[in-house]
């Protein structure tokens, strides 16, 4: 027997498809939304649709933005000769919160994971190599997560980049193994950046 009406059931089902939202959280969110004033619900729905229609990849770094270039890439005061490679936009946001990194970024939108069928061609690796070929880059900082996938991605990228003569570094292992960068405190992120090491030949 169905407990909820079809309208509530559909809302719960849609919400439970969001990452990190289980059935109980989906129910709580659904009832919260239903109790909201209609104009707030319309505002929420409008914000979702507006973001979906207007957010796309930055032409340079592939982060999500609503302009041709994201604010970081468009900032002429940044050091455009240093690129930090991260797995997703949240990792980029984590480093931006420290306020201490003045280079630019490249967002891969994932990491190499043969177990999950994700290869180099499935993430924004080609765009990075194109960027390195046409811009005057002095250093690439590999700041992928310290998970197996993140380490695999860093090693793969280091092998690709080294022949270009560009310095390749890896953030220090102060970031906990398996830890997502967006869950790490700012002091630890700064130590990881400052303690970065050159990725030698291998």
48-57, 74-83, 181-190: least confident range: 181-190
What's the mean pLDDT when you consider all of the chain? 87
Q: Would you tell me how many other CB atoms lie within 10 Å of the CB of residue 170? A: 22
Question: Binning pLDDT at 50, 70 and 90, where does residue 180 land?
Answer: low
44-58, 159-173, 174-188: least confident range: 174-188
| Class of domain 67-198 (CATH, top level) | alpha beta
8 A C-beta contact, residue 51 and residue 69: no
**Alpha carbon distances (Å) from 86 to 10, 40, 144:** 36, 35, 5
Place of tokens 């880059």: 137
Q: Phi and psi dihedrals of 201, rounded to 5?
A: -70, 145
The alpha-helical segments, DSSP class H, found in 55-163 are 71-74, 89-98, 125-134, 148-161
Whole-angstrom distance, CA of residue 160 vs CA of residue 153: 11
Residue 176 above 60 pLDDT?
Answer: no
Q: What is the pTM of this model?
A: 0.75
Residue 170 above 70 pLDDT?
Answer: yes
pLDDT digits (tens, 9 = 90+) for 57-73: 999 999 999 989 999 99
8 A C-beta contact, residue 92 and residue 46: no
pLDDT digits (tens, 9 = 90+) for 80-102: 999 999 999 989 998 898 888 99
8 A C-beta contact, residue 74 and residue 67: yes
Residue 191 above 90 pLDDT?
Answer: no
Side-chain-side CA neighbours of 141 within 13 Å: the count stands at 24
Q: Would you say the CATH fold of 67-198 matches that of 6-54?
A: no
CATH of domain 6-54: 1.10.8.420
The DSSP-derived string for 38-57 is HHHHHHHHHHHHHHHHH-EE
The domain ranges of the chain are 6-54, 67-198
């Amino acid at each position: 027997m169905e407990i909820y009406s079809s309208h509530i059931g559909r809302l719960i089902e849609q919400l439970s498809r969001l990452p990190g939202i289980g059935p109980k959280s989906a129910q709580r969110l659904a009832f919260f939304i239903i109790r909201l004033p209609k104009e707030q619900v319309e505002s929420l729905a409008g914000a979702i649709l507006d973001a979906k229609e207007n957010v796309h990849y930055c032409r340079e770094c592939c982060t999500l933005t609503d302009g041709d270039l994201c604010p970081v890439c468009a900032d002429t005061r940044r050091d455009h000769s240093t690129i930090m490679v991260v797995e997703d936009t949240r990792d980029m946001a984590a480093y931006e919160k420290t306020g201490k990194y003045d280079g630019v970024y490249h967002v891969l939108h994932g990491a190499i994971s043969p177990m999950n069928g994700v290869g180099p061609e499935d993430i924004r690796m080609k765009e990075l190599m194109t960027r390195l070929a046409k811009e005057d880059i002095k250093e690439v900082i590999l700041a992928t997560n310290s998970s197996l996938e993140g380490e695999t991605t860093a090693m793969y990228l280091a092998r690709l980049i080294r022949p270009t003569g560009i310095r390749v570094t890896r953030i220090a292992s102060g970031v906990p193994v398996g830890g997502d960068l967006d869950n790490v405190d700012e002091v630890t992120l700064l130590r990881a950046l400052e303690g970065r090491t050159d990725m030698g030949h291998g």
